[in-house]
Amino acid sequence: MHNDESSLVTRAQKGDGRALATLLTRYENPLYASALAIVGSSWDALDVLQETMLEACGKITALRDARKLRAWLTTILLRKCYDRLRDQKKYELRDEFPDTPAHLPVAEERD
């Protein structure tokens, strides 16, 4: 890690929005590529990237070691990707449920 990046992290943690934007822009493309490889959809990858960036903005002060910025961002991204995949799987499972649950009686038609 360069001293420049460490300095940017310190400034971002003190509220410097430009420093934070610079840091996030540096990692935007590699994070997007990772998200795309995991979720498989460019739209979902963009959503996950945006969620990652928003969380990073809100929690930059929690980063204790500026040298671990990339790993920290990647960890956030991976968690967001897996959340997205888990949510999609739940949705797909719900789509496979029968219209009428087996334990409920079906009303008979009347003539």
Q: What pLDDT does residue 106 have?
A: 54
Is pLDDT above 60 for 11? yes
pTM for this prediction: 0.77
User: CA-CA distance, 97 to 36, in Å (whole number)?
Assistant: 29
pLDDT at 23 over 90: yes
Quick: pLDDT tens for 25-56: 999 999 999 999 999 999 999 999 999 999 99
Pull the structure tokens for residue 2: 């360069």
Q: Distance between alpha carbon 18 and the CA centroid of its chain, in Å?
A: 22
State the amino acid at position 51 in one-letter form. Answer: E
